[in-house]
Chains A and B, each alone.
Chain A
Amino acid sequence: MGTKVPGPRSAPAPSPDPAAALKRRARRENLAGYLFMSPWIAGFLLLTAGPMIASLYFAFTDYNLFDAPKWIGLANFEEMFADPRWRHSVSVTLWYVVIGTPLKLLLALGVALLLAQKRRGQGFYRAAFYAPSLIGASVSVAIVWKAIFSDDGPVDKAQRTFFGVDVGGWIGDPQWILYALVGLTVWQFGAPMVIFLAGLKQVPRELYEAAEVDGAGPWRRFWSITLPMISPVLFFNILLETIHSFQIFASAYIVGGGAGGSACGPADGSLVYTCYLYVQGFENSRMGLASAMAWMLLVAVALVTAVLFWSQKRWVHYEEGAR
């Protein structure tokens, strides 16, 4: 990085050939561009592109990290699809994504609409609601979550007292533990909320005033003005939150850890996809199989991304002239 990139001299001698001077300038810009980009390019080749190719190769091999990888064709994929535990981890993850993401985004949008009104304390609430997004992925919060939803914990007691339902704590129950994890992601609604709020601020006031003059009620105004106007922001939030929830790991690993002797919840109740990937790769040393699993995850995320981008033509409104 210590290389100094020469800029144009302060008084360039008039070049006899302007085309050659332009060419020289373009070459200098290229050189500077690649020098500035060099850390990124090195990182991309060494830590992204190279590993991706390697992992695609591993996916077709039997590899335990110590012996050389042995080509076994599609055997990893066949084993994966036939494995009931793998299918179970897919279904746990899909439920987590399908329930958690919409709930989180609905809450984020609802609270953003509330906070968009100018009231005293607005800034305080915005900051307080955002804070869980910063600490939610930490081990500390996972420990708290495990305690709050454990047998005899506050949620269990409240549930018994007010609803007369005793599930013995959500953490210890193969079905309920998933909802404890959903609760943890919904609790972090602050990050998408902040993005919604910024979007809401950009909706021109005149639109609402005009609609009010025309006699449109609050619902009508929401559906016909607010929602279309913030649809790009909504799209962004759906995309990022969906991709993120496919990749949940630390909270499932800690919240489910230890309970019932399994690494990922009682009866694999919180065995999310990445947890199983971790178990296969790093506990069972099945690097080939784990690579095949990772590629399936990549394909799934790519499909979801593609569907979202395809659907946005129908419901996302970009303003004319906006980028």
Chain B
Amino acid sequence: MSAPPAAVANSSRRVRGSLAWHAGALAVLAVVLYPVVWLIGASFKEGDEIIGSLQLLPTDPVAKNYTRLADGLADIPISTFFYNSAFLAVGSVIGVLLSCSLAAYAFARIKFAGRNMFFVLMIGTLLLPYHVLLIPQYVLFQKMELIDSYTPLLLGKYLATEAFFVFLMVQFMRNLPKELDEAARLDGCGHLRIYWSIVLPLCRPALITSAIFTFINTWNDFMGPLIYVNTPEKYTVALGLKMFVDQEAVSDYGGMIAMSLVALLPVLAFFLAFQRYLIDGMATSGLKG
């Protein structure tokens, strides 16, 4: 059985198209991955070899950049920075999940006076540049003597100021069938019951997306801790890295590079575990905006 000539031409064109596609995708992949691979390679190089060697991976990998981290930074164990960052990130996740879902439930499920006005205000804060609030919030927290504590970094998370997540949850809740709450209402459930036992469990995907994004954003946040935290014992990983940058000339480059990589690991782990939720969350935010 031989295929007709047209089919052969067609399939060879398909093969060529497929090859071109993979070549293009691989080229983009190489550029995207280069900095990450560079970082991994550099973390196993000698400190003075990191800049200047074109080799991506070291010929003689050394572990001393990592073992050096055990000495800590300015007499503070590196684990302190990680603990602080984790504390802030987990605290932020809890706050965002509770406060944003409460507001989202009100927007999506309760008909109250002024709802549309509040919704417009909420969308407005979504577009508001954060820096307008930077100085007056600092003044406020300074008057309340809360500088050098974590309160300024956490309070907003418990007061639903993260409009993006409120918006994400509103979109999700609006798509849940209305019949669910009507049935629950007939059974005598109040809003709190409906929110907690019916709507929240059904919102799991939106909650997971918000939780992961909050964790990652808090973990990466630099400006907040930079402004509000002064005591090195309270520094987050981002500030610890900045300490490395500041004393780069004195101290060693290798340790900084190794810590940069370790600092990325929680984010990358979350990404690998939950990439579906993150990507779908991003995608829907755009489609319904």
Chain A interface residues (CB < 8 Å from chain B) = 1, 3-10, 26, 29-30, 32-34, 36-37, 39-44, 46-48, 50-52, 54-55, 58, 65, 111, 114-115, 117, 119, 121, 125-132, 134-135, 137-141, 143-145, 147-148, 150-154, 157-158, 187, 190-191, 194-195, 197-199, 202, 233, 236-237, 239, 243, 246-247, 249-250, 253-254, 257-258, 274, 277-278, 281-282, 287, 290-291, 294-295, 297-298, 301, 305, 323
Contacts and interface: CB of A to CB of B under 8 A. Distances in A.
B15 to A, nearest CB: 12
Given A40-B99, A198-B284, 16 more contacts: A7-B189, A33-B113, A50-B136, A126-B279, A135-B264, A137-B222, A138-B222, A139-B242, A141-B35, A153-B51, A246-B129, A247-B129, A281-B135, A287-B135, A294-B135, A298-B132
Given A7-B188, A119-B18, A135-B267, A147 B285 contact: no
B88 interface: no
A42 B267 contact: no
A129 B30 CA distance: 10
Rank and list the top 9 A-B pairs by shortest CB-CB distance, nearest first. Answer: A33-B112, A43-B159, A195-B286, A7-B190, A51-B136, A198-B283, A36-B106, A140-B260, A250-B222
Contact of A115 (B25, B156, B241): B25
Interface residues of B, number: 100
Contacts of A52: 132-133, 136
Nearest to A288: B135
Contacts of B187: 10
* Residue of A5, A44, A128, A139 with most chain B CB atoms under a 10 A cut-off: A139
Contacts of A39: 98-99, 102-103, 158-160
8 contacts: A5-B191, A5-B192, A134-B278, A138-B222, A143-B241, A236-B289, A278-B223, A291-B136
B93 interface: no
Contacts of A41: 118
Interface stretch (B5-13, B68-76, B137-145, B202-210): B137-145
Contacts of B271: 127, 131, 134
B149 interface: no
Nearest to B259: A140
B53 to A, nearest CB: 9
B110 A7 contact: no
Contacts of B28: 111, 114, 125, 129
B195 interface: yes
Interface in B22-38: 22, 24-25, 28-29, 31-33, 35, 38
Nearest to A2: B192
A316 B113 CA distance: 33
A42 B129 CA distance: 20
Contacts of B29: 125, 128-129
B243 to A, nearest CB: 10
B267 A134 contact: yes
A36 B105 contact: yes
A2 to B, nearest CB: 9
Contact of B264 (A36, A47, A140, A281): A140
B257 interface: yes
B188 A32 contact: no
Interface in B107-158: 110-113, 115, 118, 121-122, 125, 127-140, 142, 155-156, 158
A129 B288 CA distance: 23
A230 B99 CA distance: 33
A30 B113 contact: yes
B186 interface: yes
Contacts of B197: none
A202 B283 CA distance: 12
Quick one: which of B18, B134, B190 has the most chain A CB within 10 A?
B134
B257 to A, nearest CB: 7
B21 A119 contact: yes
Nearest to A233: B286
Contacts of A154: 38, 54
